[in-house]
């Protein structure tokens, strides 16, 4: 009974909240949800009609005493032909209506305006690189796995992939769009209300496909602008000796060959930019909440939590790892 209640709670939780196509928070997502409910309602009606027709046929059959084939009356034969033709035509009509409504609904939402492009999202195995681009290159910055957007403003994302095909899907805001290596795709996000919207890679892209989440923070314009300005700044050199030691480890051990932290000598280009890592909500593309304990667990053995990812286990003493955690968590 308890297990059943838990299952019901899980199922219900799946239907609303921060990652659900049935809980739309933009007009585009609302259109897609409307399409879903329209298809579901029509299919449910057809299913009920079929079940009723089946029951009627079975009941009538039982009333016929012998199994001898009914004599085909010309009137009855004509009626059967009319019914079958009518059903075939209505099937075609329903399919036509489905085709047209989904065509117009999806065509209406897949607009984009290259004038509003502010960011480029590149799918990697298995994380998202996010580049905020500006006409003034000094305003550019790179982050990972978390996107901030101003509420009510359309933000166009240019989608690309480094390795294999991924799919960008933040269901409460928009439908899916693939990220294909060597091809530019575009998607426009516009959140109607502030909030945190979770997304997930929606195209199987390898071992850790399921651990490739993206978070979209829709914020009021001034909060977004403050965040944006802060992201442009280089990381501050720490004052505390432990954090300085952590920075030294980061820059002079393996970390810097893959990760970048602006304002330091760490300039690796193949892993997430960590300049403002401490300000992010999660670690490793939504795998853990970003807390010192979780970061310590992650650094101690990344392959235990995300097997197959490019993050290696760097042999560090407990003290060195604590210093590294202190340094990274301080990069707000
Ligand atoms: Cu990336 Cu699935």
Residue minimizing CA distance to atom 1 of ligand 1: 166
- What is the domain partition of the chain in residue ranges? 117-232, 241-329
Report CA(212)–ligand 1 centroid distance (Å).
6
Q: What are phi and psi of 131, to 5 degrees?
A: -110, 120
Residues 6 or more apart whose Cβ sits within 8 Å of residue 141: 131, 132, 231, 232, 262, 275
Which 8-state DSSP code applies to residue 187?
E
Closest residue by Cα to residue 149 from 101, 221, 89, 82: 221
Sign of the C-alpha dihedral computed for residues 146, 150, 154 and 156 taken in this order: negative
Q: Which residue has the tokens 């004599």?
A: 71
Per-residue pLDDT, 14: 47
Residue 201: CB within 6 Å of ligand 1?
yes
Residue 208: CB within 6 Å of ligand 1?
no
Residue range 84-108, pLDDT digits in tens: 999 999 999 999 999 999 998 888 7
- Mean per-residue pLDDT over the chain, rounded: 88
Per-residue pLDDT, 12: 47
Residue range 130-156, pLDDT digits in tens: 999 888 888 899 999 999 999 988 898
pLDDT band at 2 (very low <50, low <70, confident <90, very high): low
Residues 6 or more apart whose Cβ sits within 8 Å of residue 322: 242, 296
Per-residue pLDDT, 137: 83
Residue 148: CB within 6 Å of ligand 1?
no
Per-residue pLDDT, 276: 95
Which atom of ligand 1 is nearest the CA belonging to 164? 1
Residue range 291-305, pLDDT digits in tens: 999 999 999 999 999
Residue 211: CB within 6 Å of ligand 1?
no
What pTM, to 2 d.p., does this model score? 0.83
**Stretch 47-76: mean pLDDT, rounded?**
79
**Stretch 2-26: mean pLDDT, rounded?**
64
Which atom of ligand 1 is nearest the CA belonging to 125? 1
Which atom of ligand 1 is nearest the CA belonging to 123? 1
Which of 50-64, 106-120, 181-195, 281-295 is predicted with the least confidence, judged by mean pLDDT?
Answer: 106-120
CATH of range 241-329; options 3.40.50.1100, 2.60.40.420, 3.40.50.300, 3.40.50.10490: 2.60.40.420
Residue range 208-219, pLDDT digits in tens: 999 999 999 999
Domain 117-232: CATH superfamily, name plus number: Cupredoxins -  blue copper proteins (2.60.40.420)
DSSP symbols for 53-116: HHHHHHHHHHHS-S-SPPP--HHHHHHHHHHHHHHHHHHHHHHHHHHHHHHHHHHHH----GGG
CB atoms within 10 A of CB 64: 9
Residue 123: CB within 6 Å of ligand 1?
yes
Closest residue by Cα to residue 174 from 26, 68, 14: 26
Report CA(270)–ligand 1 centroid distance (Å).
17
Share of the chain above pLDDT 90, in %: 67
**Stretch 180-205: mean pLDDT, rounded?**
92
Residue 15, pLDDT above cutoff 50 = no
| 117-232 and 241-329: identical CATH topology | yes
């Amino acid at each position: 009974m308890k297990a059943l209640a838990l299952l019901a709670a899980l199922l219900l939780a799946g239907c609303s909240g921060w990652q659900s196509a049935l809980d739309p928070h933009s007009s585009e997502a609302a259109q897609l949800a409307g399409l879903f409910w329209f298809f579901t309602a029509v299919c449910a009606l057809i299913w009920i009609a079929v079940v009723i027709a089946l029951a009627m046929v079975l009941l009538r059959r039982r009333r016929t005493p012998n199994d001898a084939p009914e004599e085909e009356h010309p009137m009855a034969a004509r009626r059967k032909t009319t019914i079958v033709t009518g059903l075939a035509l209505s099937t075609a009509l329903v399919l036509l209506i489905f085709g047209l409504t989904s065509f117009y609904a999806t065509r209406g939402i897949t607009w984009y305006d290259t004038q509003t492009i502010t960011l480029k999202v590149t799918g990697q195995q298995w994380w998202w690189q996010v580049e905020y681009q500006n006409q003034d290159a000094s305003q550019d910055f790179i982050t990972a796995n978390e996107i901030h957007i101003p509420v009510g403003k359309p933000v166009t994302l240019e989608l690309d992939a480094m390795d294999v095909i991924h799919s960008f899907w933040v269901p409460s805001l928009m439908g899916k769009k693939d990220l294909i290596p060597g091809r530019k795709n575009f998607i426009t996000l516009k959140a109607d209300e502030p909030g945190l919207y979770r997304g997930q890679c929606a195209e199987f892209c390898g071992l850790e496909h399921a651990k490739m989440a993206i978070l979209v923070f829709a914020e009021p314009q001034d909060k977004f602008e403050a965040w944006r300005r802060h992201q442009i700044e280089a990381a501050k050199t720490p004052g505390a000796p432990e954090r300085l030691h952590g920075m030294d480890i980061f820059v002079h051990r393996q970390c810097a060959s893959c990760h970048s932290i602006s304002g330091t000598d760490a300039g690796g280009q193949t892993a997430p930019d960590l300049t403002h890592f401490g300000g992010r909500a999660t670690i490793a593309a939504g795998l853990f909440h970003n807390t010192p304990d979780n970061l310590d667990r992650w650094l101690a053995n990344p392959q235990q939590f995300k097997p197959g990812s490019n993050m290696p286990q760097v042999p560090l003493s407990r003290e060195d790892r604590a210093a590294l955690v202190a340094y990274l968590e301080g990069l707000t």
